[in-house]
């Protein structure tokens, strides 16, 4: 029994992992049946177990399953699904997918296929921004001539206007693919060719353009919701500056250190872009924020973001629920409009860390495998979005994200304290995860002071040092346990030979507060 009429009777979720679970939860709460799709690698995955029905759509490889538009549309048709929620990634920003759904008479939970197509072309988005007076990152508005020796002089002249160092970026790009950094004029032509080739193979479109590199910069984005009546509301902004190879690691809402005036200005820029693009449903407008205080438009993401949860916590709005309402033709709710009014004066703070199966001491290399111990934190202000249970296998075929740990508190300091506490409660075995990095963030003075930039990871994360300290502790602990077990009287278990920690830790310290790296490294006797 639900309190409102369900916007749809049955919904297909064209995704997997934590986001599929997140969307299924919304379906449950709204009284809608959830249909999962799955590849052979996910036959027993959480989203399949949670859904009311599940349809196999192909083998493990994404290109043969989750990226197959025909298979997903057919699954929706066969199950009588009235709507498709694409989640993020996979087909979420493929205009062709939205169009195929529209043509099949199935509601696509997201912007129109036209809006996805236009905003998916970054050059189009940049031209649109120029038309409505939203400042884009300085650069070009048309595709650069690639491999045209006769136009090199012209190209160099343009590049000088943009300014070095600059970035070659893919018009169809995302996730840093097709991107090249160019410091010297003489490297420009080669970078264009390489970037264009990479973009062509990744996106089927080799168009590239030039953009000034803004460094240092913060990555700040605005969450938008828009309805069929052309109303666009900014729910607030997020700071996603902590990135590694253009993959976000930590996100927070609101962006620390902005004034109310800056927030209003930023939100207005985003709403202007959304309105100009004819946006509907949920989208995110991304900006770079330079030390002079400028906001430079980057791109619009026409989908639910991974990090939408922190905005939900601060705004009080269930974004996925609103997506379904909007998709069913309902206007923005009073709650959303009120949240939009409050967005420039946020009253609380939320932080998300992305726990991924990656080794932060080995350049964040993926670590697929089987999860062993799996203990997630709880208590006030904690939200965990995950699809993982102990013993689950993390397939090598998909994204490495295994859990999003979100904390919410009345202000940023309290949120950081809560994050530290939550990370101390978190125990993951079987595969290496990004937890050590997140522990550094939570105990970092620079982070606490709001010194954020897209270069933060390179500046503050020393994976080798963190690992070396942890290795020594692991060896000492395992060795001591073994020594004590050997030395214990016959018949006594190792654990019994150890002094039980009955609450008497060294004065003024305890095991939960001193888990951080800063103290540990310095205190190890040399």
Partner 1 sequence: MAELTPNHGEASPDATPDRLQEPDAGAVRARLGALSRVGDEPALRVALAAEPLRMTNPTVGRGPLGGAAVAPAQAAAATGVLAQRQTLLDGAPCDVSLRLLGGERYVLVEGDAAHRVILEAEGPGDGGARSREVLVGGFRFVVETESERTASLRERASRGRAASAHSGPLQVKAIIPGKVVAVSVAAGDTVTAGQQLLVVEAMKMQNELRSPRDGTVERVGVAVGVKIEIGDLLVVIS
Nearer of residues 297 and 461 to partner 1, judged by Cβ = 461
Please list, in sequence order, all residues whose beta carbon lies within 8 angstroms of the beta carbon of residue 477, skipping any fewer than 6 positions away.
none
Task: Show contacts with partner 1 in window 459-488 (CB under 8 A).
Answer: 466-467, 469-484, 486-488
Q: Quickly list DSSP for 389-451.
A: -TT-EE-TTS--EEEEEEEEESSHHHHHHHHHHHHHH-EE-SS--SHHHHHHHHH-HHHHTT-
- Asked if 472 is an active-site residue, the reply is no
Nearer of residues 245 and 362 to partner 1, judged by Cβ = 362
CA nearest to 219, candidates 284, 168, 272: 284
Task: Show contacts with partner 1 in window 225-254 (CB under 8 A).
Answer: none
CA atoms within a 13 Å half-sphere pointing along the CA-CB vector of 56: 8
Nearer of residues 43 and 465 to partner 1, judged by Cβ = 465
Does residue 517 interact with partner 1 by CB under 8 A?
yes
Does residue 514 interact with partner 1 by CB under 8 A?
yes
Nearer of residues 104 and 471 to partner 1, judged by Cβ = 471
Among 430, 444, 452, 457, interactor with partner 1 by CB under 8 A? 430
- Token couple for 313: 């916590």
**391 C-beta neighbours (distance < 10 Å), count:** 10
Phi-psi sector, 391: left (phi>0), alpha (psi -120 to 50), beta: left
- Site stretch for partner 1 (CB under 8 A), options 126-134, 165-173, 240-248, 502-510: 502-510
Among 3, 63, 445, 504, interactor with partner 1 by CB under 8 A? 504
**241 C-beta neighbours (distance < 10 Å), count:** 27
Task: Show contacts with partner 1 in window 356-375 (CB under 8 A).
Answer: 361-362, 372-373
- Token couple for 422: 């939550």
CA atoms within a 13 Å half-sphere pointing along the CA-CB vector of 212: 18
Do 418 and 379 meet the contact criterion of CB atoms below 8 Å apart?
A: no
Does residue 25 interact with partner 1 by CB under 8 A?
no
Find the catalytic residue in 180, 244, 303, 420.
Answer: 303
Element (H, E) at 334: helix 334-342
- Residue 44 CB burial class (10 angstroms; 0-12, 13-18, ≥19): exposed
Nearer of residues 1 and 507 to partner 1, judged by Cβ = 507
Nearest distance in Å: CB 400, partner 1 = 15
Nearer of residues 105 and 489 to partner 1, judged by Cβ = 489
Among 438, 444, 453, 461, interactor with partner 1 by CB under 8 A? 438
- Site stretch for partner 1 (CB under 8 A), options 62-70, 102-110, 131-139, 420-428: 420-428
Residue positions annotated with a catalytic role: 303
Residues of this chain that interact with partner 1 (CB under 8 A) are 361-362, 372-373, 423-424, 426-439, 466-467, 469-484, 486-489, 492, 495-512, 514-515, 517, 519-520, 523-525
């Amino acid at each position: 029994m639900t309190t409102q009429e369900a916007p749809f009777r049955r919904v297909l979720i064209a995704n997997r992992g934590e986001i599929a679970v997140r969307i299924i939860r919304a379906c449950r709460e709204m009284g809608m049946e959830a249909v999962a799709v799955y590849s052979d690698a996910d036959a027993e995955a959480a989203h399949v177990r949670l859904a009311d029905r599940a349809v196999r759509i192909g083998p493990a490889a994404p290109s043969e399953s989750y990226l197959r538009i025909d298979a997903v549309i057919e699954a929706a048709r066969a199950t009588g699904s009235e709507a498709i929620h694409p989640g993020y990634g996979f087909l979420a920003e493929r205009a062709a997918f939205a169009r195929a759904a529209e043509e099949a008479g199935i509601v696509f939970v997201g912007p129109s296929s036209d809006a996805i197509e236009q905003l998916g072309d970054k050059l189009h988005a940049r031209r649109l921004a120029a038309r409505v007076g939203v400042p884009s990152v300085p650069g070009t508005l048309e595709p650069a001539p690639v491999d045209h020796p006769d136009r090199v002089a012209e190209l160099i002249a343009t590049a000088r206007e943009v300014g070095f160092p600059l970035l070659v970026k893919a018009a169809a790009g995302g996730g840093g693919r097709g991107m090249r950094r160019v410091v010297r004029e003489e490297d420009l032509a080669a970078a264009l060719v390489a970037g264009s080739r990479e973009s062509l193979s990744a996106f089927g479109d080799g168009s590239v353009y030039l953009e000034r590199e803004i460094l240092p910069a913060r990555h700040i984005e605005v969450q938008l919701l828009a309805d069929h009546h052309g109303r666009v509301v900014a729910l607030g902004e997020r700071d996603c500056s902590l990135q590694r190879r253009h993959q976000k690691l930590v996100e927070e809402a609101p962006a620390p250190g902005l004034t109310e005036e800056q927030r209003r200005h930023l939100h207005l820029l985003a709403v202007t872009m959304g309105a100009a693009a004819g946006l509907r449903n949920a989208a995110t407008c991304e900006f770079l924020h330079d030390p002079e205080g400028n906001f430079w438009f980057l791109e619009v993401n026409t989908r639910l973001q991974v990090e939408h949860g922190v905005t939900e916590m601060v705004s009080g709005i269930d974004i996925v629920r609103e997506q379904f309402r909007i998709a069913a033709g309902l206007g923005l709710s009073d709650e959303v409009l009120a949240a939009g009014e409050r967005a420039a004066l946020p009253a609380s703070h939320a932080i998300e860390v992305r726990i991924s199966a990656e080794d932060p001491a080995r350049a964040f290399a993926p670590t697929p495998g089987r999860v062993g111990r799996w203990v997630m934190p709880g208590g006030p202000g904690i939200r965990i979005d995950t699809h993982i249970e102990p013993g689950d296998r993390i397939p090598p075929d998909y994204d490495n994200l295994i859990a999003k740990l979100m904390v919410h508190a009345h202000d940023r300091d309290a949120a950081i304290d809560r994050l530290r506490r939550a990370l101390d409660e978190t125990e993951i075995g079987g595969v290496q995860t990004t937890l050590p990095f997140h522990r550094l963030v939570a105990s970092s003075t620079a982070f606490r002071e709001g010194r954020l930039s897209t270069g933060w990871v390179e500046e503050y994360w020393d994976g080798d040092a963190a690992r070396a300290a942890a290795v020594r502790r692991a060896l000492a602990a395992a060795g001591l346990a073994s020594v004590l077990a050997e030395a214990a009287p016959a018949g006594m278990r190792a654990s019994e030979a150890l002094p039980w920690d009955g609450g008497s830790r060294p004065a003024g310290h305890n095991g939960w507060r001193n888990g951080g790296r800063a103290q540990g490294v310095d205190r190890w006797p040399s």
